[in-house]
Structure 1
């Protein structure tokens, strides 16, 4: 059924039907009201806080008093620069002690037309508040309702795909939540995966060696090698890396000769858990194990290191005092002397009042992945996020979507060097402490190169009002999965995709015929898509459905229209169709009756075959010349009466989301 997937390259569908009582035909068109334009990428605005790691709390009574006096006099234009300068001096404690000042600055910026900057401040209020901010949440939600993503639930996503498998020309999804199996996972907790630069060695943490210090579960480092696409039985690192103390959360240098890892409750540690480094010896064993020192480690928990691509910076998680939340992302970098500098907090964009853990820096790109329970859009408990470093600033973290993040918790996200597969630990919602390692092909939302934006608006061609529906995008070249989304309340949608790639875009709804077109994406692009609603109260009459005289064979110019009808039924499996054939009054009534039935049957059989539609969903009737629309005074009248009517029938209860 390839033709259902190759109906053209334009992104406009005006279903060409008329209400039968209007006595006119409109051809199926795909070339009107289309607006396409290339967009320059929108730069995200982030506010810097230079004092963040210099002072714990900033307070200047004189400056604050001047701001308050101007506020009382409503001299807001004068307040704005003073308040912005004051907030820019904030230390970490200000973010939860002085959140009203951040909120107020956002309001003043919004009034001055700086809405993007204002929203970044509103997000900080919501991430860092420690009081009741329901009013802020309500206001921010109203601002974001036409900006955020409305993902289709995962089980429904696969249900939609299942209907198309028998006719699709693209690769079906490969599935998610693929457990790495018994050769790697154990009945105990297994987590913290990291893969080397050659994608051949996977290192992870396991509690399978249950007897550790004081008889408690012991965390050790394990590894597995990949041979011919399969991971071998996991093996312990052994001594001296593993000990009676807890070891885990490791990462390797590119050459594989340096190992950074966490060790807990060790006598030479500064806190509960510390970061260590080990060097591979000439005989292949590990040795020269050293604590990274008091500049990096604290008197609390420090763990989960990840190296940047040039290996001069380590990001890690810590619950030391003086952070934004329960645990934060910190970093240290190598000085000119080759020493690790004092650790610094990664800032209020990445960190929240809750917990941020398990950072992973992509081996090739300036992309940081981490797990959080305090960001604004969570699917479960802990979710994985990605953030880009642009001009030295971390951008707002993005949830990498429901194909990775479920109702449970996801941690320790890692990607191979080719960005083909992901490795991470997750727990089921029913047991948040039972961690296993999972791996599957990297979805689009998590891909580091998915930065080219396609966005659009779906409107009714008659009223110019926004329409609702489900939009899906399929990668036709790489088989990378992309989550489906509901169109936003204002009719807009957007996806972040990889440029120089071909995609198929599908928009499904019970209110209009399925829109399906191919995209060759080269840069940020915006579309305006116009379509016409189906009127279920009247039959649809298509101009191109015209048979040769006295014949019932399906003609080539009919097929695009019939394919649209078949595709609609395929996407809405609870809907039915009635086809009625009619002739004019010329000729023998008995012959006309038989001919109209043959024509209706031919259309029914074509749609059933091309759409793989089950028998019984389509009924076909022939009425001959018994139901004319007009008194036949001329050829135009006879042409109007020679018609095939399509009546779509809704189920008693409309199926979910247009299905």
Structure 2
């Protein structure tokens, strides 16, 4: 990056540990402030790290007759610090006397009144409340409080993480390795009845992207055919303030229109009405297309490093002169990443101003409907904001869903990941990582979606060491859909013994083809997905000790089902494998189950197969022996041929009528049960011979 005097860089804070804290970066007055790309995860210099003072606090002999609701931190934007010595003394007295119900109510009330500064200095009270809530069995409140600790505590979090893990194990999304997803894509291509998988990631083309950073976009137009975005491609050799005669990257706003017929984005052109000799970026357009808010940095009429400006489309289709949104919205610091709400009367944005929870926080300002002015900005609160950085808010154009990027929440695949949260009863739900099909090991920023929620657009770096950002488009996967809220739960179980299995579960949307990231089962064989209601799905279940399962289902409301599995470690037989009397010819009906065996052997190279043929008691025993062996060999040859296995991986044996399941055959059904083929899969140590 080229450096300039009188400009400062807002640098991405490196997330040292998934749950803990960030490196503090020094700000230099001779470095460049980008209105979009660079962000700082700085802490308040007055804050000192400390350990939780009540780590060993364990209430005893507790019982509760009431259930406390989720905490509404109503004072966040009203007071800075809540401190009531008399109430604290009463809380301490109740604790000494082990009056746990009263203690909990008083402490709950105290924590509910927290200002932002309390989340820095008084998290020991949150810890106490979490411990007593857990002792009283109020698990939802307990988990909420542990999450608050993990998001905001600036010290050692091992104990809080340990307690949270112990009670919230089944709340965690156990995504399978991304390699499982790509492997299943190849398998999926072979199933003619399934919709082919969509492309994983699409560059938006040379007309949009450049060799320089391209990021911070908004999408608009009747057919979502217009994008306005930020680029640092404008290289100037101009006299710029105190930097004389040097080359600089000038951050400007560009516009590109899509050719619907060709399905291609046209060549990006500078948005001249918005650009100046200063840095501009991070544009957002209202849904009616008449207002654009964007960031401009180090302007003469600016209040801080980067400010938010607004321009309006006049009656003559000319954009008005950009106007600074003023001190109610902007601060002395970095303010950027604006986004309009569905109705256009709320403006979300990110800011590094002091007095927040972390390096950069998400704020919002509401438009006064009488005057048209934007009211004083408010912090969005401690459920979304953390001690680290939250940026790039994006309200969905139709649903009450807010997307944003963060490096401070519990589940991160890289540095900054994209999350979503729902607005429910005037509060935000716990943010949810939209999954590994969107988030990778690099940074994901500036998330935006088309009006039909089919495509997402965002800026992505290839890896953690890669700085250059390009604009990407991507078929919106299920985890990122705003309406994927219906619970589909299940358990993998052997129906006769009740044994549960662990494995990898993949769900395929058969109606719209929306991609779903595969998930691992929990220890008890259970799994959970959030899907879109009233669609047909295919579930594929794979594991190390049972045969693969494929099952079609229609989702209608929250659904729980048992997925019946066949233990591959036991000796099994299939009803479909029933030869004609005296025949060893394979029938087409047998092939589906034989391919279960083939797939298992392909996926588990350390397993071999023993095939044993049996007959009923009719006929000559020697002929029966030969017939049973011939049937086993026919099946063996079929499996080896289709699976391309080594010959010694599959052995065939015949036992004739010597080992009947039913000794005295009376009915034809008795004979059918004895006339069977058994399959015995067994594990082989790779160092040993492949034959028993």
Q: TM-score, normalised by structure 1?
A: 0.86
Cα offset for 1:46? 3.6
Cα offset for 1:632? 11
Could you tell me how far apart the structure 1 residues matched to 2:657 and 2:620 are? Answer: 15
Cα offset for 1:604? 4.7
Name the counterpart of 2:293. Answer: 260
Conserved in 2, the CA contact under 8 Å of 1:275 and 1:303?
Answer: yes
Name the counterpart of 1:280. Answer: 313
Could you tell me how far apart the structure 1 residues matched to 2:104 and 2:616 are? Answer: 76
The Cα offsets for residues 558-598 of structure 1, whole Å up to 9 and x where unpaired, read as: 45544543454465576554433344676567755664454
Match of residue 224, structure 1, among 238, 242, 256:
256
Cα offset for 1:482? 0.2
Residue 318 (1) aligns with residue 343 (2): no
Conserved in 2, the CA contact under 8 Å of 1:508 and 1:515?
Answer: yes
- Pairs within 5 Å for 1:384-399: 384-399=418-433
Cα offset for 1:173? 2.5
Could you tell me how far apart the structure 1 residues matched to 2:138 and 2:86 are? Answer: 27
Name the counterpart of 1:306. Answer: 339
Name the counterpart of 2:556. Answer: 522
Residue 425 (1) aligns with residue 459 (2): yes
Match of residue 502, structure 1, among 519, 523, 536:
536
Cα offset for 1:239? 2.7
- Pairs within 5 Å for 1:284-363: 284-337=317-370, 338-363=372-397
Name the counterpart of 2:178. Answer: 154
Match of residue 100, structure 1, among 108, 124, 144:
124
Name the counterpart of 1:13. Answer: none
Cα offset for 1:426? 1.1
The Cα offsets for residues 118-140 of structure 1, whole Å up to 9 and x where unpaired, read as: 21111011101112221111111
Conserved in 1, the CA contact under 8 Å of 2:502 and 2:523?
Answer: yes
Could you tell me how far apart the structure 2 residues matched to 1:197 and 1:393 are? Answer: 31
Cα offset for 1:150? 1.2
Residue 451 (1) aligns with residue 485 (2): yes
Secondary structure of 2:93's counterpart equals: helix
Cα offset for 1:283? 5.2
Of stretches 217-226 and 461-470 in structure 1, the one that deviates more from structure 2 is: 461-470
Conserved in 2, the CA contact under 8 Å of 1:146 and 1:490?
Answer: no
Cα offset for 1:363? 0.7
Cα offset for 1:606? 5.8
The Cα offsets for residues 438-465 of structure 1, whole Å up to 9 and x where unpaired, read as: 1110000000010111112334445545
Match of residue 435, structure 2, among 390, 396, 401:
401
Residue 551 (1) aligns with residue 583 (2): yes
Name the counterpart of 1:438. Answer: 472
Residue 208 (1) aligns with residue 233 (2): yes
Could you tell me how far apart the structure 2 residues matched to 1:618 and 1:322 are? Answer: 71
The Cα offsets for residues 22-69 of structure 1, whole Å up to 9 and x where unpaired, read as: xxxxxxxxxxxxxxxxxxxxxx96421121101111101111111011
Could you tell me how far apart the structure 1 residues matched to 2:521 and 2:661 are? Answer: 45
Name the counterpart of 1:130. Answer: 154
Conserved in 1, the CA contact under 8 Å of 2:306 and 2:335?
Answer: yes
Conserved in 1, the CA contact under 8 Å of 2:506 and 2:517?
Answer: yes
Conserved in 1, the CA contact under 8 Å of 2:402 and 2:422?
Answer: yes
Match of residue 644, structure 2, among 614, 622, 626:
614
- Structure 1's unaligned 5+ residue stretches are 1-43, 655-659
Of stretches 103-112 and 44-53 in structure 1, the one that deviates more from structure 2 is: 44-53
Change (3 A) 1:160 1:467: same
CA RMSD of the aligned region, Å?
A: 2.8
Secondary structure of 2:547's counterpart equals: strand
- Pairs within 5 Å for 1:50-61: 50-61=74-85
Of stretches 168-177 and 104-113 in structure 1, the one that deviates more from structure 2 is: 168-177
Name the counterpart of 2:38. Answer: none
Conserved in 1, the CA contact under 8 Å of 2:217 and 2:446?
Answer: yes
Conserved in 1, the CA contact under 8 Å of 2:446 and 2:458?
Answer: yes
Could you tell me how far apart the structure 2 residues matched to 1:207 and 1:649 are? Answer: 61
Name the counterpart of 1:85. Answer: 109
Could you tell me how far apart the structure 1 residues matched to 2:686 and 2:469 are? Answer: 41
- Structure 2's unaligned 5+ residue stretches are 1-67, 688-692
Match of residue 71, structure 2, among 44, 47, 63:
47
Could you tell me how far apart the structure 2 residues matched to 1:235 and 1:632 are? Answer: 79
Could you tell me how far apart the structure 2 residues matched to 1:510 and 1:266 are? Answer: 62
Conserved in 1, the CA contact under 8 Å of 2:293 and 2:309?
Answer: yes
Residue 236 (1) aligns with residue 261 (2): no
Could you tell me how far apart the structure 1 residues matched to 2:210 and 2:661 are? Answer: 80
Name the counterpart of 1:10. Answer: none
Could you tell me how far apart the structure 1 residues matched to 2:69 and 2:601 are? Answer: 45
Q: How many residues align?
A: 608
Could you tell me how far apart the structure 2 residues matched to 1:633 and 1:258 are? Answer: 85
Residue 169 (1) aligns with residue 193 (2): yes
Secondary structure of 1:261's counterpart equals: strand
Change (3 A) 1:451 1:626: closer
**Larger RCO, structures 1/2 (Cα 8 Å, 6+ apart):** 1
Conserved in 1, the CA contact under 8 Å of 2:258 and 2:266?
Answer: no
Residue 62 (1) aligns with residue 62 (2): no
Conserved in 1, the CA contact under 8 Å of 2:400 and 2:423?
Answer: yes
Residue 628 (1) aligns with residue 652 (2): no
Change (3 A) 1:131 1:439: same
Could you tell me how far apart the structure 2 residues matched to 1:220 and 1:45 are? Answer: 47
The Cα offsets for residues 327-386 of structure 1, whole Å up to 9 and x where unpaired, read as: 000000111322111000000001000000011111111111000000111111000000
Residue 370 (1) aligns with residue 404 (2): yes
Cα offset for 1:601? 4.7
